[in-house]
Structure 1
Amino acid sequence: MTMNSVAPRLGILASRVRFEEKSIMTALEKRGGVFEHLDPRTLSVAGGTTWTGPDFVINREVGHYRALYAASALECVGVTVLNTAAATHVSGDKWHTSAALLKAGLPTPATSLALTSDAALKALDELGYPAVIKPLVGSWGRLVTKVTDREVATAVLEHIEALPSPQAHIVYLQALVGKADRDIRVVVVGGEPLGATHRRGDEWRTNVARGAVSELCPLTDEITDLATRAAAAVGADIAGVDLIEDEEGRLTVLEVNDRVEFRGFQSAHPEVDVADRIVDLLLARAAS
């Protein structure tokens, strides 16, 4: 699509301009697009007033709460945000994501939510060891802890109880899937999976930010179906869907990322321009 004199006002919301944000900006510039870089650290939105900024914004803010409330505030003054505040609310919280996946009938690892540490220990006894304790909000595998027995779980939960945030005391528990040394990342844009990669690392967490390597993964019908349905379940137009195989080779949906990082995916799929596809979606929404 070629930008013209009556093109809608476009924006990119980001406090950090990384590979992904630079790629999206470059893709827009190649189309002749004029856009505004909105930095959430200096952004304020007055409710009930006329907004004079961009009409269509790609949300690339790295911090979950700033991303969520910025999207909500912008939508309040009539801005179209990709992804929506609702999608960020669901996919940015691991329990909300699990609940959405289960409601959609998608396979996902056995998961429990405990409201106290005592309840978490009981839930772990029922879930079985080894298991994983995860923060409700977080990325890059930080504070995700594998617990191998009740003694280890008790020690981890004591640390959780000492955290200052009340939300941190809500304990998200998940069964440890057997093949946790490798998972599958699928990038979905506008309801279409663009491709898949295996993310393989030396430890049980397979985040690229922790040193995992992205390798080409065939995009099978099953992977396509699960990724498409998972993105739809959380309402995300742009998503990174993480799948994992159990010991029998069955695929389950692990999580959905609404502000997906795609540098590793791009290196494994040089034939796919992820940023350009995101810009395609933004311009299509702006033209509708």
Structure 2
Amino acid sequence: MAEHILLVEQPSDWKPGFPRLPVVTARDYLASGDYSAHRQLRVINLCRSYRYLSIGYYCSLLAEARGHKVIPTVRTIQDLSSRDIYNLSTEELNAQAQKSLARRKDGLVPTAYELTIFVGHCGVKELEPLARQIFEAFRCPILRVEFRLHGTWRIGAIKALPIDGLTAEQEDEFFAALERYLSQRWRQPRARLTYKYDLAILHDPAEELPPSNPKALQRFVRAGKTLGLNVELIQRKDYGRLAEYDALLIRETTQIGHHTFRFAKKADSEGMAVIDDPDSILRCTNKVYLAELLEANRVPRPKTLILRRETLLDAEAEIDYPIVVKIPEGSFSRGVFKAADRTELQRIAAKLFKQSDLILAQEYLYTEFDWRIGILGRRPLYACKYFMSEAHWQIVRHDGDGHHEEGLFETVSVVAAPAAVVRTALKAANLIGNGLYGVDLKVTDRGPVVIEVNDNPNLDAGVEDKVLGDDLYRAVIGELVARLDRRRSSVGRSRP
């Protein structure tokens, strides 16, 4: 197999006169398991759209799950999708934009300028340094950058441009730049560091099912103070103050395209220690990514299929009814349905396909309870049994009137939980990162299987802290402090 592949949405997107390169259609890449085994593959995603939950989005998502080196990454896609997010990353670029554009003498429009960047190159010699810096911040194959002059030159908008939107001259520039790019060694962008000691805890007092109840939030505050941190509870309205803190703990249900993700992204861009970090949010909130990640790394899970509209009935060929059908993004048992037969499957799928180009079908495995193993910094933290709600097949039952009912729970020490369950949970969580995760598992005749990995697990007073008490909260705050200490120590050693 080639060391790199280029993904296109339709075969016709790669025109007859284009160079002979390893081109693969998006649907072939999504459907074929042959690519999963090739972990060093470089993927250039040239799909027509990277819209959230589109085929282009899923190509980047599954490429990351398969361990491939892909541009754009899902994180870059999210950065480009929101002006609020990418404005956080353009402040340092604006100084270079002013420096580069102010000295141009080729008939520059007085108040606006547009630049097209092909994998880090733009074809204008004096603007090449600026093009490279923009590409390092937003690693996307083709970018169109709009500059605006308001006293000084600043970036007004950054957009991904599809290959079918190029002129013949631009196509030549793109392929020349692509050849140079593919001949280079893959590099990851540098991370920024900061070194403060104030902690912000993001929460929403009005949230119906928050990940931490009010008593737990107060215990976080108390734990922080015992460890020498100034801890403040903040809300969505405090976004502009976030840079005042050194660390962020998110105790509000996280979602993509939501202010919780913007908080995580800004905290990360400021060099803050953050739980949940934006990469963990991206990886955990989409069940398609998790399904592919677990499959690629041989983590036991229920039989799972990733379905498109045209492959919907593959589900009943591979999985016995009832079939569990899931929207890729959901929390607290939302977006999860059970189809008893083909009619129900088609009805549920028709609704879900209006929201996502891909959905999941999974075998139904009923157990009296699910295990939840909390993982922090690649170590097990707590263990709980979550029982199904009364006369229902899920832990949380959502009624049509907006009410919900939760099942019972039993918290046990980690050492009292089955060793195989803890090992499997650790393996799954470690594929996501080194943050705070809640891994849900069922114990079956073939051993424990992972249902999902949550980036924002519940830590409620009276539930998850039943065994550890205040030590649970001190452990989470202590992890953030340890990260800040390591950063400070690292900076101290690097000073001359």
TM-score, length of structure 1 as denominator length: 0.84
The residue identity in structure 1 corresponding to 2:246 is D
- Is 2:299 aligned against 1:109? no
For structure 1, which segment, 79-88 or 212-221, has the greater mean C-alpha deviation from structure 2 after superposition?
A: 212-221
- Is 2:296 aligned against 1:88? no
Counterpart CA distance in 2 for 1:256 and 1:91 is 6
Residue 267 of structure 1, CA deviation: 5.5
- Is 2:423 aligned against 1:232? no
SS in 1 for 2:300: coil
208, 221, 235: which is aligned to 1:39? 235
Corresponding residue number in structure 1 for 2:360: 172
Residue 262 of structure 1, CA deviation: 2.3
Residues 77-98 of structure 1: CA deviation (Å, up to 9, x unaligned): 3222122211111011111122
Residue 234 of structure 1, CA deviation: 1.2
Alignment of structure 1 residues 149-160 onto 2, 5 Å? 149-160=341-352
Counterpart CA distance in 2 for 1:26 and 1:227 is 29
Corresponding residue number in structure 1 for 2:332: 140
RMSD between aligned alpha carbons?
A: 2.5
- Is 2:208 aligned against 1:15? no
* Cα distance change, pair 98–41 in 1 and its aligned pair in 2 (3 A): farther
* Cα distance change, pair 266–192 in 1 and its aligned pair in 2 (3 A): same
- Is 2:412 aligned against 1:219? no
- Is 2:293 aligned against 1:97? no
The residue identity in structure 2 corresponding to 1:18 is N
The answer as to whether partners of 2:284 and 2:432 remain within 8 angstroms in 1 is yes
- Is 2:401 aligned against 1:206? no
Counterpart CA distance in 2 for 1:43 and 1:14 is 12
* Cα distance change, pair 145–193 in 1 and its aligned pair in 2 (3 A): same
The residue identity in structure 2 corresponding to 1:173 is A
Counterpart CA distance in 2 for 1:282 and 1:52 is 16
* Cα distance change, pair 213–249 in 1 and its aligned pair in 2 (3 A): farther
* Cα distance change, pair 196–132 in 1 and its aligned pair in 2 (3 A): same
The residue identity in structure 1 corresponding to 2:342 is R
Residues 138-178 of structure 1: CA deviation (Å, up to 9, x unaligned): 111123111111121122223334x4x4x3x4212111114
The residue identity in structure 2 corresponding to 1:273 is D
* Number of matched pairs: 271
* Cα distance change, pair 251–272 in 1 and its aligned pair in 2 (3 A): farther
Corresponding residue number in structure 1 for 2:142: none
252, 268, 278: which is aligned to 2:449? 252
Counterpart CA distance in 2 for 1:105 and 1:157 is 27
The answer as to whether partners of 1:140 and 1:210 remain within 8 angstroms in 2 is no
* Cα distance change, pair 147–25 in 1 and its aligned pair in 2 (3 A): same
The answer as to whether partners of 1:199 and 1:207 remain within 8 angstroms in 2 is no
Residue 121 of structure 1, CA deviation: 2.7
The residue identity in structure 1 corresponding to 2:447 is R
Residue 32 of structure 1, CA deviation: 4.3
Corresponding residue number in structure 2 for 1:48: none
Corresponding residue number in structure 2 for 1:3: none
Counterpart CA distance in 2 for 1:216 and 1:54 is 33
The answer as to whether partners of 2:223 and 2:470 remain within 8 angstroms in 1 is no
Counterpart CA distance in 2 for 1:272 and 1:96 is 34
Counterpart CA distance in 2 for 1:82 and 1:235 is 11
SS in 1 for 2:332: coil
The answer as to whether partners of 2:196 and 2:246 remain within 8 angstroms in 1 is no
The answer as to whether partners of 2:458 and 2:464 remain within 8 angstroms in 1 is no
For structure 1, which segment, 181-190 or 266-275, has the greater mean C-alpha deviation from structure 2 after superposition?
A: 266-275
The answer as to whether partners of 1:111 and 1:175 remain within 8 angstroms in 2 is yes
The residue identity in structure 2 corresponding to 1:251 is P
Counterpart CA distance in 1 for 2:469 and 2:348 is 44
Corresponding residue number in structure 1 for 2:476: 278
The answer as to whether partners of 2:202 and 2:248 remain within 8 angstroms in 1 is yes
SS in 2 for 1:266: coil
Counterpart CA distance in 2 for 1:115 and 1:85 is 27
Percent of paired sites with the same residue: 21
The residue identity in structure 1 corresponding to 2:481 is L
SS in 1 for 2:381: strand
Residues 60-116 of structure 1: CA deviation (Å, up to 9, x unaligned): 231412332321222123222122211111011111122222223211111111122
The answer as to whether partners of 2:384 and 2:464 remain within 8 angstroms in 1 is no
Counterpart CA distance in 2 for 1:69 and 1:235 is 19
SS in 2 for 1:57: strand
Unaligned runs of 5+ in 1: 1-5, 46-50
Residues 196-249 of structure 1: CA deviation (Å, up to 9, x unaligned): 221112221124974111114522321221121111111141111111022x15
Counterpart CA distance in 1 for 2:313 and 2:262 is 33
The answer as to whether partners of 2:327 and 2:352 remain within 8 angstroms in 1 is no
Counterpart CA distance in 2 for 1:126 and 1:78 is 46
The residue identity in structure 2 corresponding to 1:211 is E
TM-score, length of structure 2 as denominator length: 0.50
Which is higher, the Rg of structure 1 or of structure 2?
Answer: 2
Residue 251 of structure 1, CA deviation: 0.6
Residues 239-268 of structure 1: CA deviation (Å, up to 9, x unaligned): 11111022x151101111111102264254
Counterpart CA distance in 2 for 1:139 and 1:238 is 16
